[in-house]
Structure 1
Amino acid sequence: MSSYEEPILDVAHLGHIELLTPKIEESVDFFKNVMGMEVVHQKKQSMYLRACRDYESYSLKLTESKEPGLGHMAMRTYSSKTLERRALAIEESGFGIGWSDGDFGHGKSYQFTDPDGHTMELYYETEKYNPPPHLVPALKNQPQKCTSRGVCVKQLDHINLFASDVDQNSQFMRKTLGCKLSEQIILDIGKQGGAWLHLTNKAYEIAYTLDSTGAKGRLHHITYNVDSREAVLQAADVFLENGVFIEFPPSKHAIQQTYAMYVYEPGGTRIEICHGGYSITAPDWEPITWTEAERAKGQAWGNKTVPTFHTYGTPNII
Structure 2
Amino acid sequence: MSNSLGHEVAHLGHVELFTPRPQESLDFFVRVLGLTENGTDGDSVYLRTWDDYEHHSLKLTAAATSGVGRTALRASSPEALARRVAAIEARGLGVGWTDGDTGVGPTYLFRDPDGHEMELYWETEWYQPPEHLRPALKNQAQAYPGRGVGVRRLDHVNYLAQSAESNGRFVYDTLGGRVTEQIMLDTGVISAQWTHFGQKSYDLVYTDDWTGSSGRLHHIAFATDTREDILRAADIALENEVFIETGPHKHAIQQTFFLYLYEPGGNRIELCNPTGRLIFAPDWEPVTWTQAERAKGQAWGLKTIESFHTHGTPPV
TM-score, normalisation: structure 2: 0.98
SS at match of 1:233: helix
2:292 is aligned with 1:290: no
1:15 to 13, 16, 33: 13
Partner residue, 2:168: 170
Contact 1:35 1:150 in 2 (8 A): yes
Partner residue, 1:200: 198
Give the CA deviation at 1:85.
1.4
Contact 2:3 2:172 in 1 (8 A): no
SS at match of 1:20: strand
Following the alignment from structure 1 to structure 2, what is the Cα–Cα distance between the partners of residues 159 and 5?
21
Following the alignment from structure 1 to structure 2, what is the Cα–Cα distance between the partners of residues 301 and 5?
33
Name the aligned partner's letter for residue 296 of structure 2: K
Following the alignment from structure 1 to structure 2, what is the Cα–Cα distance between the partners of residues 5 and 207?
18
Superposed counterparts of 1:261-272, under 5 Å: 261-272=259-270
Any stretches of 5+ residues in structure 1 without a counterpart?
A: none
Contact 1:27 1:266 in 2 (8 A): yes
Partner residue, 1:64: 62
Partner residue, 1:139: 137
In structure 2, relative to structure 1, the CA distance for the partners of 1:142 and 1:49 (3 Å cut) is same
Following the alignment from structure 1 to structure 2, what is the Cα–Cα distance between the partners of residues 144 and 293?
45
SS at match of 2:254: coil
Following the alignment from structure 1 to structure 2, what is the Cα–Cα distance between the partners of residues 190 and 291?
9
In structure 2, relative to structure 1, the CA distance for the partners of 1:49 and 1:5 (3 Å cut) is closer
Name the aligned partner's letter for residue 289 of structure 1: T
Name the aligned partner's letter for residue 91 of structure 2: S
Task: Show CA shifts across 1:209-262 (max 9, x none).
Answer: 111111111000000011111110000000000000000120000000010010
Give the CA deviation at 1:32.
0.5
Contact 2:160 2:207 in 1 (8 A): yes
Following the alignment from structure 1 to structure 2, what is the Cα–Cα distance between the partners of residues 147 and 165?
40
Give the CA deviation at 1:27.
0.8
Partner residue, 1:305: 304
Give the CA deviation at 1:4.
4.8
Following the alignment from structure 1 to structure 2, what is the Cα–Cα distance between the partners of residues 142 and 109?
26
Following the alignment from structure 1 to structure 2, what is the Cα–Cα distance between the partners of residues 5 and 65?
38
Name the aligned partner's letter for residue 310 of structure 1: H
Name the aligned partner's letter for residue 123 of structure 2: E
Task: Show CA shifts across 1:49-71 (max 9, x none).
Answer: 00000010111001111011011
Partner residue, 1:113: 111
Following the alignment from structure 1 to structure 2, what is the Cα–Cα distance between the partners of residues 149 and 6?
43
Partner residue, 1:85: 83
SS at match of 2:50: coil
Range that drifts further, 217-226 or 270-279: 270-279
Following the alignment from structure 2 to structure 1, what is the Cα–Cα distance between the partners of residues 253 and 5?
24
Following the alignment from structure 2 to structure 1, what is the Cα–Cα distance between the partners of residues 179 and 67?
25
Task: Show CA shifts across 1:105-155 (max 9, x none).
Answer: 001111111111100000010000100111111111101110110111110
Give the CA deviation at 1:5.
4.5
2:31 is aligned with 1:37: no
Contact 2:237 2:244 in 1 (8 A): yes
SS at match of 2:285: coil
Contact 1:131 1:144 in 2 (8 A): yes
Q: Which runs of 4+ in 1 moved over 3 A?
A: none
Contact 1:112 1:119 in 2 (8 A): yes
SS at match of 2:253: coil
Task: Show CA shifts across 1:68-87 (max 9, x none).
Answer: 10111010001122112111
Following the alignment from structure 1 to structure 2, what is the Cα–Cα distance between the partners of residues 269 and 173?
24
Partner residue, 2:23: 25
- Of all paired residues, the percent bearing the same amino acid is 54
Following the alignment from structure 1 to structure 2, what is the Cα–Cα distance between the partners of residues 124 and 23?
32
Following the alignment from structure 1 to structure 2, what is the Cα–Cα distance between the partners of residues 145 and 9?
30
Partner residue, 1:217: 215
Any stretches of 5+ residues in structure 2 without a counterpart?
A: none
Following the alignment from structure 1 to structure 2, what is the Cα–Cα distance between the partners of residues 6 and 297?
35
2:230 is aligned with 1:232: yes
SS at match of 1:83: helix
Give the CA deviation at 1:90.
0.5
Name the aligned partner's letter for residue 249 of structure 2: S
Over aligned residue pairs, what C-alpha RMSD do you find?
Answer: 0.9
SS at match of 1:27: helix
Contact 1:8 1:177 in 2 (8 A): no
2:277 is aligned with 1:278: yes
